Structure 1
Amino acid sequence: MSCIGNCIDHACIKSFHSMIKRELVYLEKFKTREQAIRRIFEYIEVWYNRERIHSSKGIMSEYENL
């Protein structure tokens, strides 16, 4: 990461937020906040993160090592 306030630090997450809004949030109408949370969680864990990029290289994140 570079110095504080550098917009490049947030490029990946901004891209992800843009994609999830385009592919899910703007296409569905949620009746409750809980429904939205559940659906977004499902999207990320089931659809988006089906196969982790680093897993194909045999590298595990610190969270997967726990």
Structure 2
Amino acid sequence: MLQQRILACRLCQERGYIQQAQPIVSGRASDRVLVIGQAPGHRSVTKGVPFSGPGGGILQKWLEQAG
């Protein structure tokens, strides 16, 4: 399953871009949209909830405007 592969991914860590990989995933296989973010913010990592910080609020507004 895609979520399991994302959670297991350590490519950025292995290549020295980050010290510790902390992928965060949410959603169901039946969802029609997949949003991929780069470098989750402190709040998202702490809560374990993607896009839960200020950037997530901006993203939510953009998605609402797009319909």
TM, length-normalised to structure 1 = 0.32
TM, length-normalised to structure 2 = 0.31
Larger Rg: 1
Q: Which has the higher helix share?
A: 1
Higher normalized contact order (CA 8 Å, seq sep 6+, divided by chain length): 2
